[in-house]
A and B are shown apart, each in its own frame.
Chain A
Amino acid sequence: MSDLFVALTPANLFACFLGAVLGTIVGVLPGLGPAGAMALVLPLTIKLGPTAGLIMLAGIYYGAMYGGSTTSILVNVPGEAASVVTTIDGYRMARRGRAGAALAIAAIASFVAGTFSVVALQVAAPLVARAALAFGPAEYFAFALLGVVLLANLTGGSRAKSFAMVVVGVMLSTVGMDPLGGSVRFTLGVGGAEAGFSFIAVTAGLFGVAEVLTTMAEPGSVVAAARVKFRELYPNREELRRAVPAMLRGTVLGFFVGLVPGPAATLASFVSYGVERKVSKYRHELGTGAIEGVAGPEAANNAAAGGGMIPLLSLGLPFTPSTAVLLSGMLLMSVTPGPFLLRDHPQVFWGVIGSFYVGNIMLLLLNLPLVGLFARVATIPPRYLMPGVLVLCVVAAYSDNNNLFDVWVLMAAGIAGYLMRALGWNPAPLVLGLVLGPLLERSLLQALTIGRGDVRELWASAAAAVMLAAAVVVFAFPIARVAGRRRPRGA
């Protein structure tokens, strides 16, 4: 526990500050998103060392959640998907002259939820990690499979498309060395492909280069941001009184949604808004500029970001693109997340958790007085920003393995990502498939070997059986429901 104070060393404080600022800017800018930004700065964080590097990456992750609300409220442009709901009431509050109050409530809700989720993470992560020590290959396989199935059900689009994207990611993960025997597969004799597809190159391509290409296809006009004076940043007593219950509901709800695989932060903000529409005393005002519509969703998306760290730190399983980049960063820094993280790297584990506390305070202090400045970032025309993003993508991809093959992978992933968006395919499940692929393959083959070829080994333990049964139910239920609806009446 004393390792929590590792976060207070000057180097780690600086890394936390840098990550929080970068994250806020990424959250403010529509498009790139935290996962892409984290992939772009990976080369820089590796140079900082494991603790400071991961603190910086984590800072970007939760900083983006804070920043996303600023442009939602001031210019009706959500910086990232988790802030879409905030535009509904936040922008209407701004048009009524209550932009300052909405921004302050969003920052306070983010702080309260972020702090709650860190406390819960601090308590729950070691417990989950201890329980996971009993996990063998069959349990890991079942849990990863359940995660993949849940993810495909929750990404919002077609389930078949989401599943297909996960499987494509898994197939791409088989390129290169196989995780058990060491045979080289699917390289087609191309030099540099033996190491497999670089996760950074694929992520930077799918999110960074594809964003540049998409921006070129939609040359939007520059948005105008409302000016907010510092003295206007105080919500009145009535607004505070109404915001607190929504904030608390959003916090608890968001944390639990964060544990579920999928776009947790986005989902949490939508669920929180739905809950407010059902239970709030002022539900009839939602949609017209009600403070509950800002406090609930903003608390929920920040709490979900903390909740999503539990499966990553305790089990080594990332269920969102951002935590997948964090996992990749950890592996590059020779830190393996999972049940042994706390034993092998206590300074990294507690240092990152400690930085969440510090980061939340920094973000509150940064976001209250500097909202006007951050909102102006959103008004920079893309023609000045996007060419720089392209060069950063190239640096990030190349520096992963100092390999030109990865630059080709970056370009191919960028063009593929653009086409996917154009055809309505979400690339996020592909990224997770790419990360979970080796784990799925290794645990499946190990379980089969342990069971001497008996597939019943996969559900021999109660935990694995329950998780596999849940995966089957989650997979089959929507199909059965659709089939039931199509059956003619009386048949």
Chain B
Amino acid sequence: MGRDRGSALGLAVFAVVYLLADRRYPLDTLSTPGPGLFPLLAGLALLALAGWQFAIPDRRPDHAPAAVREPSSARAPLAMAGVLVIYAALLPVVGFMPGSFALVVVSARLMGLRRWWAAATLALGVVLASRVVFVTWLGVPLP
């Protein structure tokens, strides 16, 4: 199964799960449509489109960035994705400043900044600048 067919199958599963969840909302009648009607139409449309994509996969040259397809080069983004999930989970516990400091250090290192002190200096600059601009000047409350 090609990548297009695989992603079409993924979309079909998403559409089915969405349609099952939509069963909780009433459809009512066409003259007084309920909150379940529009999602039902959208879910069925996605199911049909996933079927179309599965039956006739895209035969044009792949537009995906070549580097993304290399398993070795996908390691850094996958590691970063994990870091982002941990960051979102820890944000309410550690707060914006320490959490973002760690996020910048780790992401800069993953992007190839070799020296720890350079990554730490960059992180300090970014975190302090965002604190001054958004919290002090603009009054944006941050966690």
Tell me which residues across on chain A come within 8 A of B123, comparing CB atoms: 387
B85 touches A445 (CB 8 A): no
Is A383 an interface residue, CB under 8 A from the partner? yes
Residues of B within 8 A of A445 (CB): 33, 37-38
Asked whether, in the complex, the Cβ of A170 is within 8 Å of the Cβ of B63, the reply is no
A168: Cβ under 8 A from any B Cβ: yes
The one of B32, B52, B77 in contact with A418, judged by C-beta atoms closer than 8 angstroms, is B77
Main secondary structure of the interface of A (DSSP, over half): helix
- A417-452 interface bits toward B, Cβ cutoff 8 Å, 1 = contact, 0 = none: 010011111000000000001001100110011011
Q: Is the CB of A181 within 8 A of B34?
A: yes
Q: How far is the CA of A168 from the CA of B14 in the complex (A)?
A: 9
Number of interface residues of B (CB under 8 A): 74
* Most chain B CB inside 10 Å of its own CB: which residue of A44, A183, A216, A381: A216
Interface of B is mostly: helix
Asked if B42 is at the interface of the complex by the 8 Å CB criterion, the answer is: yes
Interface residue A376 (Cβ < 8 Å from any Cβ of B): no
B126 contact set on A, CB distance < 8 A: 387-388, 391
- Residues facing A in B82-97 (CB within 8 A) are 84-85, 87-88, 91-92, 96
Identify which of A386, A387, A399 contacts B134 (C-beta below 8 A).
A399
> Do the beta carbons of A407 and B88 come within 8 Å of each other?
yes
Binds B, one of A98-106, A155-163, A268-276: A155-163
Residue pair B62, A185 in contact (C-beta under 8 Å)? no
Whether A455 sits at the interface, judged by CB under 8 Å, is yes
In contact, A164 and B50 (Cβ under 8 angstroms): yes
Q: Does B116 have its Cβ within 8 Å of any Cβ on chain A?
A: no
Enumerate chain A residues within 8 angstroms of B4, measured Cβ to Cβ.
Answer: 158, 423-424
Q: Which of B14, B34, B52, B77 has the most C-beta atoms of chain A within 10 angstroms of its own C-beta?
A: B77
Known: A383-B112, A390-B103. 5 other contacts (CB 8 A): A160-B49, A168-B11, A391-B127, A414-B81, A453-B30
Task: Point out residues on B near A: beta carbons under 8 Å.
Answer: 3-4, 7, 11, 14, 18, 21-22, 25, 29-35, 37-39, 42-43, 45-46, 49-50, 52-53, 56, 58, 60, 62-70, 73-74, 76-77, 80-81, 84-85, 87-88, 91-92, 96, 100, 103-104, 107-108, 110-113, 122-123, 126-127, 130, 133-134, 138-143
Residues of A within 8 A of B (CB): 43-44, 47, 157-158, 160-161, 163-164, 167-168, 170-171, 174, 178, 180-181, 183, 185-186, 209, 212-219, 381-384, 386-388, 390-392, 394-395, 398-399, 402, 404, 407-408, 410-411, 414-415, 418, 421-425, 437, 440-441, 444-445, 448-449, 451-455, 482
Could you list 8 examples of A-B contacts with CB < 8 Å?
A168-B11, A181-B35, A212-B107, A217-B68, A387-B103, A399-B141, A422-B64, A423-B64
